[in-house]
Amino acid sequence: MNDRYDVVIAGAGPAGAQCARDLAARGYDVVVLETEAEDGFPRQSNKSTAGTFHSMMAAFGIPDDVVMQYTDSVVLESPTEHFVRDQTGAVLEFADFKRYLVRDSREKGAEYRFDARVTAPIMENGEIAGVTYNGDEEVYGDIVIDATGPNAPLAKELGVVDLERENQAIGIEYEFEGIDIDRPGFADLRDAMMLRLDHEIAPGGYSWIFHTGEDTAKVGLCYIQNGSHSQYSRDDFTIDDYMSHWLDTDPRFQDATRIEGKQHRGSAHIQEPTQLHTDRFMAIGDTVPSLDPLWGEGINKCMQSGRAAAATADSVLKHDGVEPTAENLEVYDTLWHRDVAPNAKNRLLMTQLLYLAPNDRYDRLMRDLQRLDDDTLAKANNGDPLAIARLLELEDAPLLVDLAKQRLDLGSLL
């Protein structure tokens, strides 16, 4: 088996597989090492609700046959109000989507090794030269990329990331049939992706119902296990308890039954990266982490980071005599901050503020959203400070004080 490549990628998630697709399309020798077996892939890593937008589908050439349901709107719910925004999107079958990325990158020339758990970097002269996997197997590359999501064995060992437990968000989801998708008294969720802000159901986070056709939907919730979660959580309630509580109390699930084998779980860190690369090495996707802190949109972000890393590798490898030093890979940081997560600081701040707010403020927020124009909303969502200020009220002063306290407690989150 070949043990030397232009680029070695650990992890066949959206970030790693997309990076491999782009590099293989440019003619590079690239290998992807994936810990799971190929038979039945993805299993444990089949974790995502996979709600996405057409910008992602078009930018990365994703075919219609991995789409479960096209959607027309995004709905935000609070305990007693809701807000509907017309915005087309798609709910993907995440497993089909992951398999498509593998298949397509293979057709472009990428190699995959399944059952290959990456454990550590191989160091030569203080720089990463390859990786060990499955204990004593080795593979070498001019550039190595960690795309293993929150696992991050290479990025952690190289000191590129410090994924802190207090910034870890956890999520759980089931797929159901028999849901009352247009229940009187609630928003019409046909062809919609709905996100609900309600501490009773997801303290310090949010829950969701993404319509997947007829009376079926993906139903889940997530929260960050710190600050606002501990403020609103119930003693001894696990994430499964919150899920059961929602299913038991929301009348839309009265006649719903779980679809067998359709349970997804996962985690991601909500924090700003301090570093993204070093000599001969880049970290992409949720290893960094790249997902959007506010609404957890990770697929597009992680694929964008994979593309930025591929473009960076290309810019170095195509020139004889140009080494992939940290300095020459710096362009990856520039692309990440410009294209993958612009305004990351402001958006993290907004995230903290949003999940700190009490339930009655969520109801008022829905009413505020109805009166504000789409432009202000889009700008606030992109972290524009003036637009965020327009969403704040005088009564939010205690919230800002809480936020300041929490930021002091959390030290260097931002």
Ligand X SMILES: Cc1cc2nc3c(=O)[nH]c(=O)nc-3n(C[C@H](O)[C@H](O)[C@H](O)COP(=O)(O)OP(=O)(O)OC[C@H]3O[C@@H](n4cnc5c(N)ncnc54)[C@H](O)[C@@H]3O)c2cc1C
Cα(110)–Cα(102) distance, rounded to whole angstroms? 9
Closest distance to ligand X from the beta carbon of 36 (Å):
5
For ligand X, the nearest residue by Cβ is: 298
For ligand X, the closer CB: 98 or 199: 98
Cβ atoms of 289 and 271 within 8 Å: the answer is: yes
Collapsing DSSP to helix, strand or coil, 279 comes out as coil
Binding region for ligand X (CB under 6 A) = 10-16, 33-36, 42, 45, 47-52, 117-118, 147-149, 151, 153, 171, 173, 220, 222, 264, 266, 268, 285-286, 291, 296-300, 302
Cα(291)–Cα(314) distance, rounded to whole angstroms? 24
Closest distance to ligand X from the beta carbon of 110 (Å):
14
Alpha helices in 60-140 (DSSP H): 94-107
For ligand X, the closer CB: 300 or 376: 300
Cβ atoms of 187 and 77 within 8 Å: the answer is: yes
Closest distance to ligand X from the beta carbon of 176 (Å):
15
Q: At what angle do helices 14-25 and 299-317 cross, to 10 degrees?
A: 30
For ligand X, the closer CB: 290 or 376: 290
Place of tokens 């992706």: 193
For ligand X, the closer CB: 296 or 383: 296
For ligand X, the closer CB: 105 or 300: 300
Counting every residue written for the chain, the total comes to 414
Closest distance to ligand X from the beta carbon of 26 (Å):
20
For ligand X, the closer CB: 168 or 346: 168
Closest distance to ligand X from the beta carbon of 386 (Å):
27
CA-nearest of 99, 147, 137 to 115 is 137
Closest distance to ligand X from the beta carbon of 389 (Å):
28
CA-nearest of 207, 165, 203 to 189 is 207
